[in-house]
């Protein structure tokens, strides 16, 4: 096995992100050209990824337009060499497509196993090698650099290693007729079917490097056995100079190695250096989540909503006593902060941390009463957040806290077939009652628009912007199930606030979350 990472001299690992090519092969994902441009901009400019693979040649006119947009931008920031396009062994067709799109680097997809060569192409190794070299020479004549993918390399090393070596011997010895230098920049070794484990990666990578010590090898993992990150680390430990990743682990079948996880494991477990700006990992993950429609799991390492949230009270107590439950993955490293969620296992230490952050000072007896109420809520499986805490305090300690400053006096929402929903709303704000009415695209939309009118016309104030709206119900599918509505608000000063409402009716739950938000703002 490789020596301990602590004894290895820090080594630079090149990161190639394939979200816009391999990641787009995720079932149901198709990025529009302008979406590809926005993701590429963030990957190159903000995250500082070394290389991005943005498309496959000859797919569609829309794909070519996206590549053109990305290449124009990359040229402006002097990063055109970082933009790569997948090409095929198809004579001049892929090269001409890539040149017309404005790119200058092709990742040429070749067959890395004898089975693929014979059964898919129906060619001998010698014929396939001749076809590859013809494309490589033509690419160089057009000013296009070439990297080689050995598709199904993992199966090739298992079942037909002599074929892999025959291919490598021919390609590594081939010189560009224009420069008399090696004509291929990188050899990229994919585990196309996601069948490898870390021990096999170490074995096969070492064999490749022993035979071709001067070659730049990339490793491309797939996650079918949930080993993409482990295999990527094994490849780096064994001498691979580059790793392929995707944002949020997007990719065909079970996906590819997630960029965020590979980055932190390289830095923390391997002592490696990369170009990645870790503070922007969350931003690019959220952008890709939005465009792809593939939600990030709350417990996804680094980028999930819950990964820096402590629930157990003993953890909060330990954090107050010298950070006993901290590890190197501190949230500030990724532009985030540690949170202390509240539930039946929270304990007083956890509640105290949240109260302290809100600036609420309670006596030990009061804290105990609030803790008891949160435990009761946790037993009913209700979610309790820091935003809920002032209301729980108000409910438990009514004689200690002033009444709500925003009260919903009455409202009426109507829904009729063929007509827009209408809402009439009466609210009391700081003792003064106001009325408003509006139509909307839905009942809740009409309600919010009526509130916006009140805040604008009577109070001359900006109403917070609704940023995200999520609805959940308990499992079981009952028609009378409670509905939990979670709304994320963007405050005028930039602060983000999340409130929840719980009711048997979805609109009523959303209204409760809205009034809760307004009271937090007033208080």
Beta strand 51-56 pairing with 14-17 = parallel
Pairing of strands 145-151, 186-190: parallel
User: Is 21 noted as a catalytic residue in this protein?
Assistant: yes
Give ∠ CA 204-210-214 in degrees, rounded to 5. Answer: 115
CA angle 337, 340, 342 (to 5 degrees): 150
d(CA 93, CA 361): 71
Tell me phi and psi for residue 485, to 5 degrees.
-110, 125
Residues 6+ apart with CB under 8 A from 255: 23, 26, 222, 223, 228, 246, 249
Instruction: List C-alpha distances in Å: 480 to 157, 379, 503.
Output: 58, 20, 10
Q: 194: phi > 0 → left, psi -120 to 50 → alpha, else beta; which?
A: left
Q: What single DSSP character describes residue 12? A: B
Q: Are strands 51-56 and 83-88 parallel, antiparallel or unpaired?
A: parallel
- Listed residue (85, 63, 88) closest to 144, CA to CA: 85
Distances (CA, A) of 380 to 180, 224, 373, 407: 73, 37, 11, 26
Q: Which residue among 21, 51, 186, 353 is the active-site one?
A: 21
In angstroms, the CA 488 to CA 511 distance is 13
Which of 208, 230, 238, 259 is closest to 50 using CA atoms? 259
Q: Find the catalytic residue in 151, 186, 339, 353.
A: 151
What sign does the dihedral 328-330-335-341 (CA atoms) show? Answer: positive
The yes-or-no answer on residue 457 being catalytic is: no
Q: Where are the strands (E) in 40-177, listed by range? A: 51-56, 83-88, 105-111, 145-151
CA 318 to chain centre: 30
- Point out which residues pair with 182 in neighbouring strands: 175
**What is residue 404's DSSP assignment?**
P
Residues with catalytic annotation? 21, 151
């Amino acid at each position: 096995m490789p020596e301990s990472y602590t004894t290895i001299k820090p080594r630079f690992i090149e990161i190639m992100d394939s979200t816009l090519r391999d990641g787009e092969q995720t079932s149901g994902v198709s990025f529009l050209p302008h979406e590809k441009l926005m993701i590429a901009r963030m990957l190159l400019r903000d995250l500082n990824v070394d290389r991005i693979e943005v498309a496959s040649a000859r797919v569609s006119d829309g794909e070519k337009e996206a590549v053109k947009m990305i290449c124009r931008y990359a040229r402006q920031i002097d990063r055109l060499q970082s933009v790569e396009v997948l090409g095929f062994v198809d004579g001049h067709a892929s090269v001409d497509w890539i040149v017309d799109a404005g790119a200058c680097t092709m990742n040429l997809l070749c067959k890395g196993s004898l089975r693929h060569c014979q059964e898919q192409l129906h060619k001998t190794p010698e014929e396939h090698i001749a076809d590859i070299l013809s494309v490589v020479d033509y690419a160089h004549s057009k000013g296009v650099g070439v990297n080689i993918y050995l598709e199904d390399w993992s199966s090739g090393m298992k079942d037909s290693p002599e074929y892999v070596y025959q291919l490598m011997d021919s390609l590594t010895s081939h010189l560009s007729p224009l420069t008399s230098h090696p004509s291929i920049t990188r050899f990229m070794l994919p585990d196309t079917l996601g069948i490898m484990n870390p021990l096999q990666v170490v074995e096969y990578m070492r064999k490749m490097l022993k035979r071709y010590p001067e070659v730049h090898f990339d490793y491309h993992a797939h996650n079918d056995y949930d080993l993409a990150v482990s295999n990527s680390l094994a490849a780096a430990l064994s001498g691979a100079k580059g790793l392929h990743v995707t944002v949020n682990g997007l990719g065909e079948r079970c996906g590819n190695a997630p960029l965020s996880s590979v980055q932190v494991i390289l830095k923390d477990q391997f002592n490696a250096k990369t170009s990645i700006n870790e503070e922007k990992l969350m931003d690019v993950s959220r952008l890709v989540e939005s465009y792809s429609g593939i939600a990030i799991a709350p417990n996804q390492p680094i980028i999930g909503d819950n990964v820096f949230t402590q629930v157990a009270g003993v953890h909060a107590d330990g954090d107050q006593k010298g950070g006993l439950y901290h590890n190197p993955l501190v949230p500030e490293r990724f532009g985030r902060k540690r949170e202390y969620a509240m539930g039946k296992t929270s304990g007083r230490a956890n509640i105290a941390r949240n109260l302290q952050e809100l600036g609420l000072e309670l006596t030990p007896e009061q804290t105990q009463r609030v803790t008891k109420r949160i435990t009761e809520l946790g037993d009913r499986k209700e979610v309790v957040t820091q935003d809920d805490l002032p209301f729980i305090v108000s409910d438990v300690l009514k004689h200690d806290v002033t009444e709500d400053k925003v009260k919903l006096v009455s409202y009426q929402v109507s829904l009729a077939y063929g007509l827009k929903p209408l809402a009439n709303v009466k609210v009391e704000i700081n003792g003064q009652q106001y009325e408003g009415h509006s139509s909307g695209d839905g009942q809740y939309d009409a309600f919010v628009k009526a509130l916006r009118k009140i805040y604008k016309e009577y109070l001359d104030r900006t109403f917070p912007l609704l940023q995200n709206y999520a609805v959940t119900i308990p499992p079981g599918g009952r028609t009378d199930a409670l509905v939990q509505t979670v709304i994320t608000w963007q405050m005028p000063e930039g602060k983000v606030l999340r409130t929840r409402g719980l009711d048997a009716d979805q609109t009523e739950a959303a209204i409760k979350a809205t009034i809760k938000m307004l009271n937090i703002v007033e208080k």
